[in-house]
Structure 1
């Protein structure tokens, strides 16, 4: 037994929720897809990060007096803590909103290493934030839970949360598909980058399928694992790579970033440009989607990253959408003096048998540090 996404959306609407925003999560994928298909323009916004979503929900309430729903993976609570405590909280502006939080890493449920700590502390974290919350699973009496949640929200005038367990929502396949930006697949692009990179280049890759594909490619090539796989911390890959580059001035550092990741903390680009790492290649793998958590669209296809990189002070920019143009673009930027952005326009898609890293995060860290010390 599972919760029907359509029934859940109708239940929220009956209680006055008329705006939805957040960052997609795999546990909430069916609900997010249903919202995207069944909300009018302006009623649903996929945010750059969870803090942005909380702020939009606050602005919506200021303008209309009504309540918004903010969805996120539990890891996104970190991005949301500041606006939740310093703005929406009952001791500050008292802004009601419903948080819908996917519970990755729930204790007792097998999950990836980056989710275990957050899963264990999710409910205590909400307790510390003094946000009343209810656990939702497939056989929950969702109407009773919503009655309690909205009653609490009416009493406090502040946020409440639903913590959603794995497989709580029934299946729903979204009808909106992001138009492919090219015919090029991410894994093929990564394979070509490994061909083009020098043996002593240091690679930092973003969370999700990018790091999984990079790991598999190293295995297929019979090469030792030496890349830093940022399996968690979405949005921070470029800053990690900058930290490496600032202490490895003689080495080329390749940052493999995703469009959702780059958008999440795009201000990092300005800091990278300010620091001027001499051999920093920022590769943007842009498929216009949050592919790893359901394929929901990002705002990236609307962004002119060439103008953006120039505006913040990058030393160069190139764009490619085929393997041949990738090789040409690499030749244009790989030896530039200063940070450069290489945008690769891609289509969504990955192998059905795509695995996950078989080494521990600790082993990954050690292997990267050894490579950096060579």
Structure 2
């Protein structure tokens, strides 16, 4: 397998020693090494992949040196505008190295949300005109990297490395920087309490990753039909989906079960939600201050004031809890306040990092999930 330490050492020899990106489970070992090795002046976990391309562009403009941008291939969509309208050689010509985890690679078993993206990843890079190589556990980096990096420098353009599953080895000394989180309530416990305080008529949209997986298993444990919309892909769009539902279902309570990483990824949606006057929308942010589903890398959610952000975006109210008792108490206040609200409510639920090691995945297909949610939403 490929050593993350060797990989970063070889990049440094070619002047690439600064990293911007969004963590990916397939790149988990590399991300852990980067996060544990490089200080904040050389590594930034960005809100989304387009953010990373923008920062790498600014890095080159300011320092005259290209940077590394890492991501999952599902994040390519977030990069297309800055790549084509800024970094492309026909515009500004900004050299950078993109390291892309190849989820959904053809003939490699993966989750449904990754299949289409995996099929078209190479074609996307071809259409964008981005030179790339593919590496796996047997790749000889000393041979594979120099020609690609020379193309980047000579043509002053973005180039990419497409990384297959199980390419990078684990490094004993490498782990993501610890998150200072003293909360004792788990996400699964919080979800169970929330569901236990609901009537069952609510329309729930849950974010991608372990939140939707836990929600599905809680429904199974409780012998309940899963009528929640499990947003298995499209990270960062949970709130937007919920807003769309709330607009056309004004007489139903709509609940967005979001995560801190998802909220940060497309944070502009909060301003649209606040201006929407959707008084039937509750935006729950499960905040564990990390990207829990892809390796536990920290987000900035522990150091920002979500209350001020929500109220500044014109949410009608903000509530917060950090244990089971305060969750139940806050939820009761939210339900009591809703008839008088003139806009959405944000409920920040502070939770600890981590999940059960035996956590399963939804057994229903995305199409089955969609149809169940729509049937539930039509049952006024």
Range of TM-score over shorter length:
over 0.9
> Hey, what does 2:375 align to over in structure 1?
370
Retained in 1: the 8 A contact 2:274–2:314? yes
The DSSP-based 3-state class of the residue aligned with 1:251 is: coil
> Hey, what does 1:71 align to over in structure 2?
70
CA displacement 1:230-259 (0-9 Å, x = unmatched)? 000000000000000001101100100000
Residues matched between the structures, number: 373
The yes-or-no answer on 1:235 pairing with 2:251 is: no
Counterparts of 2:307 and 2:176 in 1: how far apart (Å)? 31
Retained in 1: the 8 A contact 2:176–2:296? no
> Hey, what does 1:304 align to over in structure 2?
305
The DSSP-based 3-state class of the residue aligned with 2:26 is: helix
Counterparts of 2:121 and 2:182 in 1: how far apart (Å)? 37
> Hey, what does 2:13 align to over in structure 1?
14
User: Could you tell me how far 1:18 is from its partner in structure 2?
Assistant: 2.1
The DSSP-based 3-state class of the residue aligned with 2:100 is: strand
TM-score, with structure 1 as normaliser = 0.98
> Hey, what does 2:127 align to over in structure 1?
128
> Hey, what does 2:359 align to over in structure 1?
354
The yes-or-no answer on 1:345 pairing with 2:346 is: no
Retained in 2: the 8 A contact 1:181–1:288? no
> Hey, what does 2:54 align to over in structure 1?
55
The DSSP-based 3-state class of the residue aligned with 1:275 is: coil
CA displacement 1:101-148 (0-9 Å, x = unmatched)? 000000000000000000000000000000001001011011211111
> Hey, what does 1:187 align to over in structure 2?
188
Counterparts of 2:360 and 2:44 in 1: how far apart (Å)? 31
Counterparts of 1:364 and 1:181 in 2: how far apart (Å)? 35
After the TM superposition, which parts of structure 1 deviate over 6 Å for at least 4 consecutive aligned residues?
A: none
Higher mean C-alpha displacement, 336-345 vs 50-59:
336-345
Counterparts of 1:186 and 1:280 in 2: how far apart (Å)? 21
Counterparts of 2:362 and 2:214 in 1: how far apart (Å)? 9
The yes-or-no answer on 1:261 pairing with 2:262 is: yes
Counterparts of 1:332 and 1:82 in 2: how far apart (Å)? 43
The yes-or-no answer on 1:213 pairing with 2:218 is: no
Structure 2 unmatched runs, 5+? none
Map 1:132-147 → 2, pairs under 5 A: 132-147=131-146
The DSSP-based 3-state class of the residue aligned with 2:67 is: strand
User: Could you tell me how far 1:210 is from its partner in structure 2?
Assistant: 0.2
Counterparts of 1:299 and 1:41 in 2: how far apart (Å)? 12
> Hey, what does 1:38 align to over in structure 2?
37
CA displacement 1:348-372 (0-9 Å, x = unmatched)? 1111111000000000000000000
User: Could you tell me how far 1:155 is from its partner in structure 2?
Assistant: 2.2
> Hey, what does 2:278 align to over in structure 1?
277
> Hey, what does 1:3 align to over in structure 2?
2
Counterparts of 2:319 and 2:216 in 1: how far apart (Å)? 26
TM-score, with structure 2 as normaliser = 0.97
Counterparts of 2:39 and 2:323 in 1: how far apart (Å)? 36
Retained in 2: the 8 A contact 1:181–1:345? no
Counterparts of 2:194 and 2:356 in 1: how far apart (Å)? 18
> Hey, what does 1:293 align to over in structure 2?
294
CA displacement 1:47-88 (0-9 Å, x = unmatched)? 000000000000000001001000000000000111011000
Counterparts of 2:104 and 2:170 in 1: how far apart (Å)? 21
Retained in 1: the 8 A contact 2:8–2:17? no
Retained in 2: the 8 A contact 1:50–1:77? yes
Higher mean C-alpha displacement, 185-194 vs 149-158:
149-158
Q: CA RMSD in A?
A: 0.8
1:85–1:175 CA distance, 2 compared to 1 (3 A): closer
Counterparts of 2:17 and 2:108 in 1: how far apart (Å)? 33
